[in-house]
Amino acid sequence: MRDQSGGEIMAYADFEFYRDSYKGTLSEAAFGRLSERASDYIDSRTGYILKKAGITEEMEERVKKACCALSEVMCQSETGGGVKASESVGDLSVSYAVGEQRSDVQKLDDAIQLYLSDLVKAVKWL
């Protein structure tokens, strides 16, 4: 897929930024796959305003961090990523925290809002 200038459409953040600046722990393959989806989610929730208006230098790091955060939330959703309350090694026993559960969409919106809420006013938060 290409953008209006004929260039390849890519994720807002690359693996080097994710690993070195964001300090994420996903594998390069997982991040590569999920960062594309995260970028699409950013575009859909912002009404594509970042693609239309462009990303200023001031916004660039926040957009990259939003992409990274969304990638991690998406990974947690895929793996059933509840919050571990305890874990044992002998005879393997894992317990997950119980409490208010948020939907996948709410978790994604929380992640994007952390970085983009004051930059992108077109987003409608749930």
In the prediction, which pLDDT does 96 show? 54
70 exposure class (CB count in 10 Å sphere: 0-12, 13-18, 19+): buried
Amino acid symbol at 72:
E
Greater confidence (100 vs 10) lies with 10
Q: What would the mean pLDDT of 89-102 be, rounded to a whole number?
A: 60
Structure token pair of residue 65: 């961090």
Q: Quickly list DSSP for 58-91.
A: HHHHHHHHHHHHHHHHHHHHHTT-PPEEEEETTT
Report the pLDDT value the prediction gives residue 79, as an integer from 0 to 100. 74
Instruction: Measure the CA–CA gap between 117 and 89, rounded to whole angstroms.
Output: 41
* Conformational region of residue 37, where left means phi above 0, alpha means psi within -120 to 50, and beta covers everything else: alpha
Rg for the chain (alpha carbons), in Å?
16
In tens, the pLDDT along 19-68 reads 999 999 999 999 999 999 999 999 988 888 888 888 888 889 999 999 99
Q: So where are the chain's domains? A: 15-116
